[in-house]
Amino acid sequence: MIHFASRTRYAAVILLVALLACVAVGYFRDRVESHARRVELAMDFTDFEAMAGSYDYDLAAFLIALRRAGLTSLALTEELGANVGYDGKAYAMTGAALLNQARVTPIRDPLLAKLARTNWIVPGAVYLLVSDEATYDRYRAQLPLHFMPQSVRVLRASRPWLIEVRTQIDYFNTLGLGIPTDQIELARRLALLVIPRFQNDERFGGPQIDAVFDDVLRYDPKVSTVIFFGLNNQVMGYPDHLPQTADAFGRHLFNFGSIETYDSSQVQKGNDTLAKLIPGRTVRVQAIAKTELDKLKLDEVVARYVLGVRERNVRVVYLRPWPHQDGSLSIEATNVEMVKAIADELRADGFVLGRATPIPQYHGNNRLLVGIAALATPSIFVLLLEFFGWYRRRFAAAAYAITIAAYVAGLVAQHDAAARSAIALAGALLFATAALLVLIPAWTESPAATTPAQLLRSLGWTLAATGVALLGALVVVGVMSSPPAMEEIERFRGVRLILGLPPLIALALYLFDRRFGLGAKRPGDVFLSPVLAYQLLAGIVIVGLGALMLVRSGNDSDISPSPLELALRHGLTHVLSVRPRFKEFLIGFPCMMLLPALLQPHRRAIGWALALGIGVGVGDVIDTFSHLHTPLEISVLRIVNGLVVGALIGAILIWIYRRTLATSR
């Protein structure tokens, strides 16, 4: 065990204070997470309208059925120039097309016919013939946002209205022309919240951005969350006018929908900057692409959305209609059942359906409190120096000075996320080392006389190592739990190191620290020891598995889980509610349980493998809390479930081992 010498008791006291600060951050964070539990179920109206039209469903009646099932919102997308005319209320054509038509057949519209005869039609311009007054008003409001005044001319100010736009058709086709008024009015009539989907124009300044927002608010003030789209994958105001977009969000108190992605290259440009400019107004959005939706079963779709809300802090479930029948249900009834199943499961988990609630600024993100929590890292460093006999006062002073300087510099430079990540990563690795050192007596003690006594002893050592590892997780929580990190706007970059380094630290301690019972007197003895064929083969396998573990870590892995693994995940989630992690209950905890039960010769034979396995488990315990978008309650349940299942597996291994020994005698 680690004992505190009198010369380092100050570090133990500071560590205790810092850990209490971490506990305070965790408490405030848990309170915030327990209150931010309102979720939107939104349907993409464009896809929904297309499906309803394909099967001749009554659009309003279908939406009413979905609302009764739990739907809260309609996601309404700006009309693109390429889609003008799809609703029959307007028609867009180039001047060249009009002139060609005039050569073949008479033009019925008298004004257009006159313009063609008198050569007033510009071949390169676009002409809009509009038969609906609301659509005309929308075009009159939207077109001046994209063009200079002289580029847009109203040629006829009465029905059917005629507008000339001096632009190329390719550019016109990509423009956002506002959200159709009838869609906004439909949402208002059916008491559904509106989620506007706007496209950025890089030339937009403050007035244009305000006009885009006001165009929706003029018809319906019940805008909940704004989600951006577009071929360039940009948020409104990117790259030069993000502060003006942030001002618009601040005035209107909209939520900003940050779309969850599994590839960093897919994150919308300007997403993180905008989210940081409007703290406490960002919500995570989960959607399933249409191409992937076609490959999933209905229960898989429901389970994925519910999992996103429960375990990844998703607050806007962005639905697309499921284009298949479930059993004997019609496609219409199947979609109603999908929404109802998601809504019922979320309500059963304590969530409320309505306007999404973001993670606000909260007391746990207080700079002073976080600064105190950060002192846990140099404190555990000083205590470890003392344990290894390397303590020097200048080393301790340097550790505290570097930590404080890094934290303050991050605040001053407004890059505190990077400073926090470095401090949290160092703390996590140092506590992982301390967790491994706690097990030193387990490497040298003799097994218990009876199996029940051995099970209790093994469980005690497992709980001790896990407890110290959880202190490292607590430091990560205390230092990193800012709202942007909890919304995954600011990302903790140390996840792979937390997974990959503890096994290597464990192996190094086992090989080079004689207190682990290996018996090597000098480091050279380890490198000059003979290697058996099975050890070489096992080493190659373990290195390969370690590389696979690192590649598979995180949400953006290029290697997808196998069907068997997905089935196991689904089964564990169904049985335990929160799925424990394989690296904990299949590797880490069983190795911790088995270690003190082995005879010394057997420990030496597979000690290196046990050290690696224990390191994997310790690192994964801390890594569980490094995914800051996962609520604390879920992370705690994950550890508890993993510990229970892993201890049971370890107990079975101990029973088999002792039974085998008894039989061999």
Q: What is the pLDDT of residues 592-632, one digit of tens each?
A: 999 999 999 999 888 889 999 999 999 999 999 999 999 99
Does residue 534 register a pLDDT over 60?
Answer: no
How far is the C-alpha of 223 from the C-alpha of 214, rounded, in Å?
A: 11
pLDDT at res. 156: 95
**Beta-strand relationship, 152-156 and 126-130:** unpaired
- Mean pLDDT throughout 154-177? 95
- The answer to whether 361 touches 339, Cβ cutoff 8 Å, is no
Does residue 23 register a pLDDT over 80?
Answer: yes
Peptide bond before residue 484 is cis, with ω within 30 degrees of 0: no
Nearest CA to 141 out of 93, 176, 90 is that of 176
Does residue 242 register a pLDDT over 50?
Answer: yes
Does residue 252 register a pLDDT over 50?
Answer: yes
Across all residues in the chain, what is the average pLDDT? 90
Burial of 103 (C-beta count, 10 Å sphere; 0-12/13-18/19+): exposed
Region of poorest pLDDT, from 99-103, 217-221, 556-560 = 556-560
How far is the C-alpha of 315 from the C-alpha of 140, rounded, in Å?
A: 35
- Mean pLDDT throughout 489-494? 84
pLDDT at res. 351: 97
Q: Give the percent of the chain with pLDDT over 90.
A: 73
SS3 77: strand
Q: What is the pTM of this model?
A: 0.88
- Mean pLDDT throughout 491-512? 89
pLDDT at res. 394: 95
Q: Which residues of 216-225 are buried (b: 16+ CB within 10 A; e: fewer)?
A: beebbeebbb
End-to-end CA separation in angstroms for the chain: 34
The residues of the chain that CATH labels 3.20.20.370 are: 37-78+181-353
How sure is the predictor about 533, in pLDDT bands with cuts at 50, 70 and 90?
A: low
Tokens of 37: 């539990």
Beta carbons within 10 angstroms of residue 421's beta carbon: 21
- Mean pLDDT throughout 438-447? 94
Tokens of 599: 């005879």
SS3 202: coil
Looking at residue 317, what DSSP letter applies? Answer: E
Does residue 59 register a pLDDT over 60?
Answer: yes
Nearest CA to 70 out of 351, 356, 342, 358 is that of 342
Tokens of 408: 């303050």
Q: Which residues pair with 227 in a beta bridge?
A: 197
Does residue 240 register a pLDDT over 50?
Answer: yes
Rg of the chain over Cα atoms, rounded to whole angstroms, equals 31
Does residue 584 register a pLDDT over 60?
Answer: yes
- Mean pLDDT throughout 125-134? 95
How far is the C-alpha of 361 from the C-alpha of 277, rounded, in Å?
A: 13
pLDDT at res. 366: 92
Helices and strands (H, E) in the chain, number of each type = 29, 12
Burial of 211 (C-beta count, 10 Å sphere; 0-12/13-18/19+): middle
Looking at residue 80, what DSSP letter applies? Answer: B
Q: Which residues pair with 176 in a beta bridge?
A: 80
- Mean pLDDT throughout 177-193? 93
How far is the C-alpha of 401 from the C-alpha of 197, rounded, in Å?
A: 48
Does residue 406 register a pLDDT over 90?
Answer: yes
C-alpha angle 560-562-568 in degrees, rounded to nearest 5: 120
Q: Give the percent of the chain with pLDDT over 70.
A: 92
Does residue 212 register a pLDDT over 60?
Answer: yes
Nearest CA to 172 out of 93, 54, 63, 111 is that of 93
C-alpha angle 465-469-472 in degrees, rounded to nearest 5: 155
How far is the C-alpha of 87 from the C-alpha of 100, rounded, in Å?
A: 25
SS3 656: helix
pLDDT at res. 573: 80
How sure is the predictor about 543, in pLDDT bands with cuts at 50, 70 and 90?
A: low
Does residue 1 register a pLDDT over 50?
Answer: no
What phi and psi values does residue 653 have, to the nearest 5 degrees?
-65, -40
CATH number of 37-78+181-353: 3.20.20.370
Tokens of 80: 């693109």
- Mean pLDDT throughout 530-538? 55
Region of poorest pLDDT, from 2-16, 142-156, 323-337 = 2-16
Tokens of 458: 């093994």
Tokens of 125: 């311009």
pLDDT at res. 246: 95
User: Which stretches does DSSP call E strand in 277-411?
Assistant: 282-287, 314-319, 352-353
